[in-house]
Amino acid sequence: MTQIKLNQIYQMDCFDFLKEIQNCSVDLAIIDPPYNMAKANWDTFKSEQDFFNFTFQWIDALIPKLKGNGSIYIFNTPYNSAFILSYLVSKNFIFQNWITWDKRDGMGGGRRRFSNGQETILFFTKGIDHTFNYNDIRIPYDSQERIKHAMKKGILKNGKRWYPNPDGKLCGEVWHIVSERHKAKVNGKIQKMAHITPKPLEMIERIIKASSNPNDVILDCFAGSGTTALAAKKLKRNFLCCELNFEYVQFAQNRLEKLGSTDEN
């Protein structure tokens, strides 16, 4: 039995790790699990049924760990997310958003259908009194020119004068964020990265800012390159993280160590 401490990344299987976490101790779970796309050994399953059995098993193991006002975000393909959504509803979780991540980077050339360029992030809560800091995740208005004008005189809407918020507009459920794979390309060529599917730090930071407060506990049991841990540390939250692969754990720990000297890594 491992004594799980906050703010460390454990090299463990998610099921062994979750067994050691206290029930009702997690404020926010950010889960970026295998997608069954055969991108690596850990992403390869015997069959679709096998993949969904695995997925529903980790969901079952995770559910008791969330506090009553806790939130969960789950990444996956749109197709898989439809089944995951249905499973969470059957567990009486409350649907909040189907977030579409527009990756600004095509996943492949479609000849018989449209090319894939998105991933899904399901946002569910356990109850109705969850944290949601909408003011902390405002994004710039699209038309700066119009907004500059509206700041001075306001815009007449239903008989009332509306003034734009200087911090930007409310964040919608379609997120246009460039993938790490695309950012790393040199002259359009894909480069080998330390982890094959790291999530953009800014995207995980957005989730953490919206759905947790300083000192809250954030769980990520498929930690990969440690993006959740890094974002949590930056934003003064605590994290509970595990990852199966030794090299990824080492890479994630290095990223965390570097954070002391610079915020961008």
Ligand X SMILES: C[S@@+](CC[C@H](N)C(=O)[O-])C[C@H]1O[C@@H](n2cnc3c(N)ncnc32)[C@H](O)[C@@H]1O
8 belongs to the binding site for ligand X (CB under 6 A): no
- Rounded to whole angstroms, how far apart are CA atoms 101 and 120? 6
Out of 119, 205, 216, 243, which residue is the one contacting ligand X (CB under 6 A)?
A: 243
Out of 32, 119, 205, 216, which residue is the one contacting ligand X (CB under 6 A)?
A: 32
Out of 29, 34, 63, 124, which residue is the one contacting ligand X (CB under 6 A)?
A: 34
User: In terms of CB distance, is 12 or 85 closer to ligand X?
Assistant: 12
List the one residue out of 11, 41, 5 whose CA is nearest residue 246: 11
Q: State how far the alpha carbon of 252 is from the alpha carbons of 60, 198, 218, in Å.
A: 26, 11, 16
The distance of closest approach from Cβ of residue 226 to ligand X in the complex, given in angstroms and rounded to an integer, is: 6
User: In terms of CB distance, is 70 or 198 closer to ligand X?
Assistant: 198
Out of 244, 249, 255, 256, which residue is the one contacting ligand X (CB under 6 A)?
A: 244
Q: By CB under 6 A, what part of segment 208-237 binds ligand X? A: 222, 224-225, 227
Q: By CB under 6 A, what part of segment 175-204 binds ligand X? A: 195, 197-199
- The strand pairing partners of 94, in sequence order, are 125
Q: CB–CB of 67/25 below 8 Å?
A: yes
Query: How many residues line the site for ligand X (CB under 6 A)?
Result: 19
Out of 13, 50, 202, 247, which residue is the one contacting ligand X (CB under 6 A)?
A: 13
10 belongs to the binding site for ligand X (CB under 6 A): no
Q: State how far the alpha carbon of 84 is from the alpha carbons of 166, 180, 233, in Å.
A: 37, 25, 29
Out of 20, 42, 131, 150, which residue is the one contacting ligand X (CB under 6 A)?
A: 42
11 belongs to the binding site for ligand X (CB under 6 A): no
147 belongs to the binding site for ligand X (CB under 6 A): no
76 belongs to the binding site for ligand X (CB under 6 A): no
73 belongs to the binding site for ligand X (CB under 6 A): no
Interacting residue ranges for ligand X, rule: CB under 6 A = 13-14, 32-34, 42, 195, 197-199, 222, 224-225, 227, 242-245, 248
